[in-house]
Amino acid sequence: MTKASRYFLLFVLAITVVMSGCSGVSTVPQTTSATYPVVAISDIHFNPLDDPTLYPALAAAPASQWESIFQNAQSLSNKPPSAWGSDTNYPSLVLALAGVKQNLGASPVVLFSGDMLGHYLPELFCYSYSNLTPPPPPALPTTCPALNAAGTAAMQQFIDKTVTFVSMQIRAAVGNVPVMFVPGNIDTYSVYGAGPDASFLSDNANTFFTQLLNGSADQAAFQNTFTTIGSYSAQPLGSKLLVVALDSNPFAVATPAPPLDPYSELTWLDSQLAAAESAGQKVWLIMHVPPGANTTETAQTAAKAGTPTQTSDSEVAMMWQPQYQIEFMQILAKYPGLISMAVTGHTHMDEFRVLPTGDVMFGIPGISPCFGNNPAFKIFTIAQDTLMPMDYQSINYGLGVSPAPAQFSSLYTFSTAYGATANTSLQSSSQQLYPQLTPTGAGTPDFINYYDSGNPSLIPGLNIPWNMATPVNWPLYACGISQMDTQDYVDCVNTY
């Protein structure tokens, strides 16, 4: 997609046009002594101003006191988790992190592929700071009332405290386990969610290093790259594995002026992969925005045009600007077999993408249900010898289920759902699955159901599914799995 805030706005506006108005205990995957689990989360999008009446107390208190403010708020005493179409409120955050803690098992590291902050948090702050009422749902506060220098500083301080609070909550849930975090495009001071700039990164680097990484990287090296390009590398599991956290936000389409230099990002990535190959290491790559097509925005455009199974060069939406995607693919092609796992976020959906290099990127579903997805995360089963994922389990929370579930629970396991061959890497199993995901393929209904982490509900007043992927527009989604280039994607869709 372009950027999540634009995606979110388009999604809600599309709804507005029509409706004028936004159980059991789960277990980690079965493992043997040759495997271990790794928890992966994404797109928390915590909104501390979900209840704007808490603004004065939150603005006046340090982040260390926010938990007691939320817990003592009468407005939250019986408040349910966030509904579809909205970001994560405090009850949802507590529920999600309890699910992570419950399913952590022996996971030696947690992967977090970005977007800690809620959509439009700078804008929401501006309204509260200026004592103004933001527009009611489904409208969005896409503009920020003018702030003077003191107001801007207060906004940045509030966002920093939100980062600290969420980081502390994550640390409390996972104990001493390192959390490998990469910034999302909404992790920023900007009212235009194009990703963090050097100021945001510098202001929050110490929080990310101490609270999330938990000191599992060289601090000087981390500070040097994270504060300048938003990226870093670490070896939290020993010298055989290099975790590369790449800030892919500057590559995104519709970024008017990237806050960081995309080519510096790519040059740094090349150097990290070269060093890992020379050292005989494997690499886990974490990014926020994946390459390829923005399938949902493309599907929305096709639906409005009345051609839900067709698209064109002028209508298709892509995640990245082409020049950066081309160079990225060229870099990966230089190191075949080096990347043993790659995870992304941003779309909030449960998906995977097969790159031209043969590498497979696994999309981590979002904790925030703002795009109509159920909150969810994944637990990968990692082979100790190859450092490759062999399977994963999806853990979700069923919004809309009555009575409301008390906790997150298992939705499905990849190998069981799709009949993957035993002892085959998840990368190979995904490559084998993709050609079978045809309109009449046995696994396609399950893939569509799991795409939004199991939300079968209809949008109130519209009688259409929250899940944008359907059997009708399936070509737009199926081709997005393997066709990364714009023209290849268009050709695939139109000849599906």
Nearest-angstrom CA–CA distance, 492 and 398? 34
Q: How confident is the model at residue 5 (pLDDT cuts 50, 70, 90)?
A: very low
pLDDT for 25 beyond 90 = no
pLDDT at 182: 98
User: How much is the average pLDDT of 103-110?
Assistant: 98
Q: How confident is the model at residue 1 (pLDDT cuts 50, 70, 90)?
A: very low
Token pair belonging to 40: 């992966």
User: How much is the average pLDDT of 7-21?
Assistant: 33
pLDDT for 23 beyond 80 = no
pLDDT at 141: 78
pLDDT at 157: 98
Q: Give me the amino acid identity at 419.
A: G
User: How much is the average pLDDT of 277-289?
Assistant: 98
Q: How confident is the model at residue 422 (pLDDT cuts 50, 70, 90)?
A: confident
Specify the fold of 4-17+32-494. Answer: Purple Acid Phosphatase; chain A, domain 2 (3.60.21)
User: How much is the average pLDDT of 426-449?
Assistant: 96
pLDDT at 138: 62
**Residue 340 φ/ψ, nearest 5 degrees:** -90, -15
pLDDT digits (tens, 9 = 90+) for 307-361: 999 999 999 999 999 999 999 999 999 999 999 999 999 999 999 999 999 999 9
For 264-303, the DSSP string reads HHHHHHHHHHHHHHHTT-EEEEE-SS-SSB-HHHHHHHHH
Q: Which helix (H) or strand (E) holds 129?
A: helix 121-129
Look at 140 and 7; give whichever has higher pLDDT. Answer: 140
Mean pLDDT, the chain, whole residue set? 91
pLDDT digits (tens, 9 = 90+) for 368-390: 999 999 999 999 999 999 999 99
Token pair belonging to 147: 């702030």
pLDDT at 134: 83
Q: Is the dihedral of CA 330, 336, 339, 343 positive or negative?
A: positive
Token pair belonging to 296: 């949902």
Nearest-angstrom CA–CA distance, 480 and 356? 12
pLDDT digits (tens, 9 = 90+) for 203-214: 999 999 999 999
pLDDT for 28 beyond 90 = no
Residue from 127, 193, 203, 198 nearest 159 by CA:
203
Domain ranges of the chain: 4-17+32-494
Residue from 195, 227, 196 nearest 209 by CA:
227
pLDDT at 255: 66
pTM over 0.85: yes
pLDDT for 101 beyond 80 = yes
User: How much is the average pLDDT of 42-65?
Assistant: 97
User: How much is the average pLDDT of 129-157?
Assistant: 85
CA atoms within 13 A on the CB side of 479: 27
